[in-house]
Structure 1
């Protein structure tokens, strides 16, 4: 190819291998790693703002219905399951590859530095600020003493000094050869860098493995009831892609009693769940679970995350059959445990399905305008109840939130005067439902505990890698960086009986102990016959 009279060589083609190498270098650059880290943070924002399928399917479904095409678009593009979407996974994987690609080359560099030979003594020591001299009658013995002293003395490091002694031509007039001792005390710093970067790789690997193998489940257990560690018994359950349900340890947990202590003002003082743990091939064990004091089980820990009241309800339909009989957990709405609950009665032998909205007041009191709860304890319990009849919408196959009553196909019950039926109950009371729909009975009020089981097999490895990273970082920042040199002619000067040993040390300006270290080495080598002060 020619332009005017100048020839220009054709640029070589990169090819597949060349393009692959170029792309890998771009991905593993620190600039791209920082960009990917920023993208990951930005991509996480929709996961905390928008409803997500894994966390709350009912809210997510309602969000889609309320927002029309916009909701369907967000669902189709993965914004309603951000952390499981393909684009978030791509950013995550690229970030891991970039960080590992940035770290591993540095690991090789620090390993080579750690294993590299000790550099020889510089040709001139007079250019270094920290110098000293002493005389000795036996140069070879002095250098051997210095070497032994350095090897025994760790120089505040675990690796100690690395020492080499050479014979080299001398620049002094009348001296042919001289002994030169070079000691490198930077090994601990290099070891710290190596540990730090290897630990970073360990942290990334532990996080990746943990995200694939971890699982977490939440379950509500009423006093006297039991829970078996199986996916079907959890109220909500999430796990990594490589987790297998068959790996769950089939233990059984029974909530015997839940103690809740409140002071006079109604502030919580203590929550204790008295439980019985039955593990395979072992005897039942009675133990306790408290806030921030989880129960250790095989592969995970069980935390006490919450508690409340679960009134025992019995509903009899119009034919006199028991259509519902169970304890229903109510959700506390404030610090005095004003709790709301939903009772759904689909199994009515004749007539329409029944639904109830209830508010529990543990210590009911009249504030002059309405009934409120004055204390979390059951000092004066009262339940405010409102009933509905119709279709609960449970036959559509779409899961529903057990704490929400879908009123779209329900009609409120009405009394003889045509007003919306509502009633206040006390424990043990039975009320007749309007229009002969049956009866509603509040039997008792046990407590329930909300438990959270978390299992992550990578946590011990993550902890070890994190500690390693901190130790490595501390060593790389605070380990001394010193290089020490000794030089002396092999033979005494003409007409003299002693030989001058010159010493110098190189260290950062903030290392106040470097000069003392040099002088200790010089004293050990020569016995310090005399010291020549610096001019």
Structure 2
């Protein structure tokens, strides 16, 4: 069993998840130890010949070596460099900066671990469910109210928050001109909700990307459609079906597909299958739906009679009609008997089967209810990852050395810079430091060499 239909809950996916976390821990701990050791150590001593480094400069000045060295220490300290303490027998000044670059790398790796932990928490303890609600119906947050429900591996039903809400109304703003004419520009559901049975009702306008938040649970508006109210009377004149029936959109114009099942009709069960045209027109003799708004709704359905196989132990979808044991109703000429109903119309079925009435049309909304306990942890991890990544990309670890020595009646000053990460241009840094060292001095015979 490979659990290909339940990848995130499978053993092998969990093993990969754990191995990834172990790998990250195995990367973070050694690098943290190395970094802690490096942060306590001083910059290395200056190389013997600074002029052999790729980026270097030198100049002569009448100042004493001690005065230049003192200014160099001040200039480097002001620019955030950490200096190597003077030692007996060592010449020159060693300075280094950019220690936070490795901190950025460590923070990035640690944040990935935090994100994984956040997602794991949400996947284990949280849940996600979906439900379609016709306008005017009420939803209570319990397992039996959902159309589909995906719990976490460690989910406990008693942790579900006891809220409820009613969809009072549903508004759609349709585009009436332009290339997208007939499509929805925006929609919202007007809800009345209670956070618990004893709490007072509150109002909320639910919009796309503006979920209703109740405690740690969020309710999202993710779709909508139409539910025509259909009434079926059987051959004895009894009402065997009368309620809103959810039709599912098949395209952007909201041409919708649906079925109706009346297994208890007499003398035979009745099943309907067909399309809902919210705005029906005929073009060239063919039925066409021109927009999603219900300006001219029409039902066009085929009729089936007999056993609808409702007692099948395997069950069946409410959106599909099992026709394996049913018989399609035909006209005397052998063609399909199709009922085309405008709003308010009734059609009599042949052979005394009964009648079908298209009473009204009402909107439905599809809602997603989810609880993700580790969401804030994952968000914090992503924020840390961004900060760590920025730090590792833009903080440049650099070393600078300054050496002064007597040369004739003056002092020869040698300066070199090195980018430890490679690929960085340190020439501007070198020029800036040399300029700061030369400011206000009597520079007699400048002889700068940079590369």
Q: TM-score, normalised by structure 1?
A: 0.71
* CA deviation after TM superposition for structure 1 residue 202, in Å: 2.2
Instruction: Tell me by how many angstroms 1:148 deviates.
Output: 4.9
Indicate if the aligned counterparts of 2:127 and 2:151 stay in contact, CA closer than 8 A: yes
- Of structures 1 and 2, the one with the larger relative CO (CA 8 A, separation 6+) is 2
- Once residues 210 and 353 of structure 1 are traced to their aligned partners in structure 2, the CA distance between those partners, rounded to angstroms, is 46
CA drift at 1:368? 3.5
Deviation, 1:341, is 1.0
Further displaced range: 210-219 or 88-97: 88-97
Deviation at 1:521, TM superposition (A): 5.8
Q: Does 1:340 align with 2:260?
A: no
8 Å contact from structure 2 (residues 24, 109) kept in 1: no
**Match 2:96 to one of 162, 166, 184:** 184
**What CA RMSD, in Å, does the superposition of the two structures yield over aligned residues?**
3.3
Give the match for residue 399 of structure 2: 483
Structure 2 equivalent of residue 389 of structure 1: 305
The answer as to 2:196 corresponding to 1:302 is: no
State the alpha-carbon separation in 2 of the partners of residues 125 and 335 from structure 1.
Answer: 71
Which residue in the other structure is 1:472 paired with? Answer: 388
Task: Identify the residue that residue 339 of structure 2 maps to in structure 1.
Answer: 423
CA distance in 2, matches of 1:181, 1:216: 62
1:222-245 per-residue CA deviation (whole Å, 9 max, x = no partner) reads: 111122222221211113212222
Q: 1:248 to 1:531 in 2, by over 3 A?
A: farther
1:360–1:502 CA distance, 2 compared to 1 (3 A)? closer
SS of residue matched to 1:208: helix
Does 2:71 match 1:122? no
Q: Is the 8 A contact 2:194 2:202 kept in 1?
A: yes
Residue aligned with 1:396, SS:
coil
d(CA) in 2 for partners of 1:148, 1:399: 82
Aligned match of 1:285: 202
1:513 lines up with 2:428 in the alignment: yes
Sort the Cα spacing of 1:436 and 1:169 in 2 relative to 1 into closer, same or farther, 3 A: same
Instruction: Tell me how far apart the structure 1 counterparts of residues 87 and 404 of structure 2 sit (CA, whole Å).
Output: 10
Q: Does 1:86 align with 2:11?
A: yes
Change in Cα spacing, 1:385 to 1:502, as seen in structure 2 (3 Å) is: closer
1:220 aligns with 2:132: yes
Instruction: Provide Cα deviations, 1:73-118, integer angstroms capped at 9, x if missing partner.
Output: xxx5434444444344444444444454345433443443334333
Query: Which of 89, 95, 111 pairs up with 1:169?
Result: 89
8 Å contact kept, 2:51–2:414: no
Distance 1:251 1:111, change over 3 A: farther
The question of whether the paired residues in 2 share the 8 Å contact of 1:480 and 1:511 is answered with no
Cα displacement string for residues 264-295 of structure 1 (whole angstroms, at most 9, x for unaligned residues): 54233222222223323654332323334433
Distance in 2, matches of 1:135 and 1:407, equals: 104
> Is contact 1:192-1:475 (8 Å) kept?
yes
| Larger helix proportion of the pair | 1
Within a 5 Å distance, the mapping from 1:112-261 to structure 2 comes to: 112-128=37-53, 129-132=55-58, 134=61, 136=63, 139=66, 146-151=72-77, 153=78, 155=79, 160-169=80-89, 180-260=92-172, 261=174
Deviation of 1:300 (Å): 4.3
Question: For residue 63 of structure 1, what is the aligned residue in structure 2?
Answer: none
Match of 2:26 among 101, 125, 134: 101
Distance 2:113 2:5 in 1: 31
The 3-state SS of whatever aligns with 2:93 is strand
**Cα deviation digits, residues 109-128 of structure 1 (max 9, x gap):** 34433343332333443433
Indicate yes or no: 2:175 matched with 1:262: yes
SS of 2:387 mapped into structure 1: helix
Q: Does 1:361 align with 2:277?
A: yes
The answer to whether the 8 Å contact 1:161/1:187 transfers is no
Aligned length: 438
| Mean Cα deviation higher: 295-304 or 142-151 | 142-151
Q: Give 1:434 deviation, angstroms.
A: 4.0
Structure with the bigger percentage of strand: 2
Q: Alpha-carbon deviation of 1:149?
A: 4.7
Indicate the SS of the match to 2:389: helix
Q: Is the 8 A contact 2:167 2:190 kept in 1?
A: yes
Aligned to 1:449, what secondary structure does the other structure show?
strand
Distance in 2 (CA, whole Å) between partners of 1:390 and 1:113 is 83
Give the distance between the partners of 2:209 and 2:336, measured in 1 at CA: 45
Q: Is the 8 A contact 2:71 2:437 kept in 1?
A: no
Q: Partners of 1:186 and 1:346 in 2: how far apart? A: 77
**Match of residue 364 from structure 2:** 448
Instruction: Tell me what 1:372 maps to.
Output: 288
